Amino acid sequence: MVTATEYGYNSKIEGDVVVSRADAVINWIRSHSVWPMPMGLACCAIELMAAGGSRFDISRFGMEVMRFSPRQSDCMIVAGTVTYKMAPAVRRIYDQMAEPKWVVAMGACASTGGMYRSYAVLQGVDRIVPVDVYVSGCPPRPEALLDAMITLQNKIRRERSTARLISSNR
Amino acid sequence: MSDELLTTLMERRTFLSARPSADHPAVNCPASHLVAFLRDLRDAEGFEMLLDVTAVDWAESRRPRFTCVYHLFDLERSRYLRVASDCHEDANPTMPSVAGLWATADWHERETYDMFGIRFEGHPDLRRILMWDGYPYYPLRKDFPLAGEETDLPGADVAEHTDARVSAAPMAGGPFVSGTSGGPMSEREPRAKDESWTENAPKPKKPDPTKESS
Ligand code: SF4
């Protein structure tokens, strides 16, 4: 009596297989290996460091690999006050990051200029780079940053990555 | 002790005059004698340390408009001395540089130049230090608004592909300050001084006090 067909899937040879959509797989991988580019410019960077420490432990989300090289990072976390003098440097580093890339504006300063209503401070980093998630607070608690990163993960999961891979025009 | 110091200093130097001061002894010194006087203070009077160089903008209408201020410290006897010197010109203020006497004066004078536009003559490398090269204003002058003035973003390539400019910050009735009355500062929430306007609702005109309201 034949119990398994010769033509079907043979798990003894091929191993276990899960069938899914390409988008789901790509996004699953991307959302769990978001390597941050820590653009720590002021006091918010201290909270960013706390988020990297063992107490808040950003590595639970696959994000502990803070990369100071824009070539190796996926998500720029702008943590701090962006002065006009610094703004071109922030944009150039963003330009040097490889696609796909995201930006989190951490804290009041990066989001809006914060309390620095001043001649020297860029009034929101979204004037020079496209921001995906804004975090309120001055400074935001590390939990707030983690919440933002989870929001970013959810956002990444909804992306149409295959279409983006295939078409050059996105 | 401070009177004693001033008397000894001014005894032999007729160009000095005493300067009213709430804390440390202070003297006025004309710009033409400044470098020689400061060298004297450093070498002969024991004021070896230059703590700060800054300036005051008294207002556009005042003459002289700018005054440079030098804070000196005597390490051995723990004495402070403040030396003030008026800039001759008001439109293009200048002051002789003391970077040759104290290395620290180099950056202090660059900062003063950056913020007030006072040119220090004889400075080895007078460039802006806080604002970027090519910034057209001097932010600590009295006629410069806190919110800033519109100008180009530094980095022409970035400015071009982001379309970003340096623009006046939205003040929304600010600056935000805690008032001067009503309990300790820790309990006073900072408030905009004039909350009657925002960026969307224009600032109401002040009623003209010369006209009678009918
Ligand atoms: S938002 Fe607050 S804590 Fe963060 S950089 Fe600005 S001033 Fe500092």
- CATH number of the domain enclosing B72: 3.30.460.80
From A39, A83, A86, A109, the mutation candidate for ligand 1 (largest count of ligand atoms within 8 A of CB) is A109
Side-chain half-sphere CA neighbours of B161 within 13 A: 10
How far apart CA A83 and CA A87 sit, in angstroms, is 6
Contact: B155, A91; criterion CB under 8 Å: yes
Paired tokens of B98: 């003391």
Count of domains in chain B? 2
- Statement to judge: residues B104 and B162 lie in one domain: no
pLDDT of B211 reads 61
pLDDT of B208 reads 63
- Chain A residues within an 8 Å CB radius of B149: 119
Domain assignment of residue B33, yes or no: yes
How far apart CA B198 and CA B103 sit, in angstroms, is 46
Paired tokens of B18: 């005493």
- Option in B131, B139, B158 nearest A91 (CB): B158
Domain assignment of residue B204, yes or no: no
- Statement to judge: residues B18 and B72 lie in one domain: yes
Q: What is the gyration radius of the CA atoms in chain B, in angstroms?
A: 22
How far apart CA B194 and CA B192 sit, in angstroms, is 5
Q: Provide the residue range defining the domain that includes B111.
A: 2-130
- Statement to judge: residues B41 and B91 lie in one domain: yes
How far apart CA B194 and CA B177 sit, in angstroms, is 11
- Statement to judge: residues B21 and B125 lie in one domain: yes
Domain assignment of residue B68, yes or no: yes
pLDDT of B11 reads 86
- Statement to judge: residues B14 and B111 lie in one domain: yes
How far apart CA A68 and CA A39 sit, in angstroms, is 8
Domain assignment of residue B57, yes or no: yes
Q: State the alpha helices, DSSP H only, in A19-106.
A: 22-31, 44-52, 87-96
Domain assignment of residue B37, yes or no: yes
Domain assignment of residue B206, yes or no: no
Secondary structure of chain A: what % helix, strand, coil (to 5)?
Answer: 40, 10, 45
Over residues B102-113, the mean pLDDT reads: 94
Domain assignment of residue B209, yes or no: no
- Statement to judge: residues B123 and B148 lie in one domain: no
Pick out chain A residues at pLDDT < 70: 1-11, 13, 168-170
Q: For residue A120, how far is its CA from the centre of ligand 1 (angstroms)? A: 15
Q: State the alpha helices, DSSP H only, in B12-88.
A: 34-43
- Statement to judge: residues B117 and B146 lie in one domain: no
- Statement to judge: residues B36 and B120 lie in one domain: yes
Q: For residue A114, how far is its CA from the centre of ligand 1 (angstroms)? A: 7
DSSP class of residue B101?
T
Tell which of B100, B130, B160 closes a domain: B130
pLDDT of B207 reads 66
Domain assignment of residue B65, yes or no: yes
- Statement to judge: residues B89 and B156 lie in one domain: no
pLDDT value at B102 more than 50: yes
How far apart CA A13 and CA A169 sit, in angstroms, is 40
pLDDT value at B190 more than 80: no
Q: Are strands B17-18 and B26-28 parallel, antiparallel or unpaired?
A: antiparallel
Q: Whose alpha carbon is nearest atom 3 of ligand 1?
A: A139
pLDDT value at B63 more than 90: no
- Statement to judge: residues B23 and B62 lie in one domain: yes
Its pTM stands at 0.82
Pair B29, B16: CB distance under 8 Å: yes
pLDDT of A21 reads 86
User: In this predicted structure, which of A89-98, B79-88, B177-186 has the lowest mean pLDDT?
Assistant: B177-186
How far apart CA A70 and CA A37 sit, in angstroms, is 7
Other Cβ atoms less than 10 A from the Cβ of A23: the count is 17
- Statement to judge: residues B53 and B81 lie in one domain: yes
Over residues B130-154, the mean pLDDT reads: 90
Tell which of B80, B108, B130 closes a domain: B130
Over residues B66-90, the mean pLDDT reads: 93
Contact: A84, B137; criterion CB under 8 Å: no
Residue carrying the six token digits 């002289």: B64
Pair A139, A47: CB distance under 8 Å: yes
pLDDT of A170 reads 47
How far apart CA A143 and CA B179 sit, in angstroms, is 34
Going A145 to A149 to A152 to A154, the CA torsion angle's sign is: negative
Contact: A84, B162; criterion CB under 8 Å: no
- Statement to judge: residues B87 and B152 lie in one domain: no
List B residues 156-175 in contact with A (Cβ-Cβ < 8 A): 157-159, 162, 164, 166-172, 174-175
How far apart CA B130 and CA A118 sit, in angstroms, is 14
Q: Whose alpha carbon is nearest atom 5 of ligand 1?
A: A80
State whether residue A93 sits within 8 Å of chain B by CB: no
- Chain A residues within an 8 Å CB radius of B142: none
